[in-house]
Amino acid sequence: MLRALVLIFVLSTPLALADTPPPDEPVPTGAEAPFPGTPPPPAVDAPANEPAAPASEPDVSAPPAPPAAPAPAMPAGPNPADEQKQFDLYRRDLINLLALRAEADLLVAAAELAYPDTQDKKRPPALKTPALLKRAQKFGPDSPLVWWISTFLECPPKAATCTHEAAAKLQEVDADNVAAWLPALHAEKDATRARALIATMAQAHRFDDFWSPSVLAVYNALKILAVPPDVLAQGINTTAARLNFATSVGGGFMPNFQRLGEICTAADAQDTALVSDCVAIAHTLESGGTFRSQTVGFGLESSLLPAGTARDVARARQRAASWQKERFLQLSARFPREEYLAQIYVDHLQEQHNELATVIAFLRSQHVPTDPPAGWQPQDRSGEAPGSPLAPKPGH
């Protein structure tokens, strides 16, 4: 298997898309949602300009240097088109096998993997995303994961119309989940109806953005095919390789918080009902889902809570969350070399309902405290990425 396939298995990270703040531009959803791409290889820093050699008098007595020998011919690198062909072959072999299954989560994984084939007329319709989603809906009619992924993939790209049937079904099967209302909020342009959705979301008792079940769906699907030897030759074990692939694909279907941020950060302080609803939603976001949703929740709280005890307590929780994430990143860096550690994380992922709960259980299993020591402060990463209007920095 060639380099493209190696990269997708090796370069990902089990951390959800939380380290990158929510983008300034709206994340496409529904008919415009792109297939969640895999992380590109890390950019190679351009070498710094070397300092100029100190000036010196030329040595006229020295004979001229002989001409440099021609560089040996280097073999041509792999053809990118061939690499893509090899990756598509692996991906489609997996889809072909998954399409025969009757488990809703495996069919969801197949639908996610098949999305790049949307415009490929050579692929049979039964092996494309719409048919695979329909089959998943048949075998998992009450599965929130099925309808969550359907909200992203139910309409072809650039579709002129989309009924958003999946969003309505998601609300029906998972009404007590704040995330279940986000697709409808994103699509709602009427201010009055959007405000009503905010009120409904404030009454929900939990937040689950389906990162964990989506990642697990792809992870379990990958067990059907062996990890290619070329991937393992990079020094990564089977469990970590599958986990990396699963997080790069299944972990890409993250909620869009843009509309929520627009409404809540623009709330008039005198509109106490709206502020109260937004704070309730923010608190739910910070206590469930992924590090990314938690970051959005903390940001909203920081922008809405007045100075005082409530804001100070929220900042203390944010400090503890930063500690947990840093400790987890340190441990997860060992996954490629220590398969037992990667497997422990996968086991917790199977048992817990979201990424945050998984990380806490994983840290405790490794005897890592989940509260920071006195005086500890998170590293300042404010200069690493532009801030997001959805998660204002503390103090704003």
Q: Is residue 372 part of a domain?
A: no
In a 3-state reduction of DSSP, which class is residue 206?
strand
**Stretch among 25-29, 184-188, 194-198 having the lowest mean pLDDT:** 25-29
375: in domain: no
Q: Which two tokens mark 275?
A: 């502020």
DSSP assignment of 24-64: SSPPP-GGGPPP-PPPPPPPPPPPPPPPPPPP----TTSPP
**By the 8 A CB rule, do 301 and 314 touch?**
yes
Structure tokens at 151: 């909200």
Task: Tell me whether residue 215 is in a domain.
Answer: yes
Is the separation of the CB atoms in 303 and 392 below 8 Å? Answer: yes
Query: With contact defined as beta carbons under 8 Å apart, do 128 and 114 qualify?
Result: yes
Instruction: Identify which of 224, 378, 392 has the alpha carbon closest to the alpha carbon of residue 302.
Output: 392
Rounded mean pLDDT of the chain?
79
Residue 66 has pLDDT above 70, yes or no: no
Is pLDDT of 188 > 50? yes
Q: To which residue do tokens 């990902």 refer?
A: 12
Whole-angstrom distance between the N-terminal and C-terminal Cα of the chain? 50
Domain range for 160 is 3-31+82-365
**How far apart (Å, rounded) are the C-alpha atoms in residues 51 and 274?**
59
What's residue 381's pLDDT? 59
Report the run of H or E that residue 311 belongs to, with start and end.
Answer: helix 309-332
65 is a domain residue: no
User: Residue 230 above 90 pLDDT?
Assistant: no
Cβ-Cβ contacts under 8 Å for 235 (sequence gap 6 or more): 336, 337
Q: Which residues contact 106 (CB under 8 A, 6 or more apart)?
A: 98, 217, 220, 221
Give the DSSP letter string of 126-161.
Answer: GGSHHHHHHHHHHH-TT-HHHHHHHHHHSS-TT-S-
Q: Which helix (H) or strand (E) holds 294?
A: helix 291-304
Q: Say if 256 falls within a structural domain.
A: yes
At 160, the pLDDT band (50, 70, 90 cuts) reads low
Structural domain count, the chain = 1
In a domain, 50, yes or no: no
Q: Within a domain: residue 52?
A: no
- Whether 74 maps to a domain, the answer reads no
pLDDT at 247 over 50: yes
Partnered with residue 206 across adjacent β-strands are 177
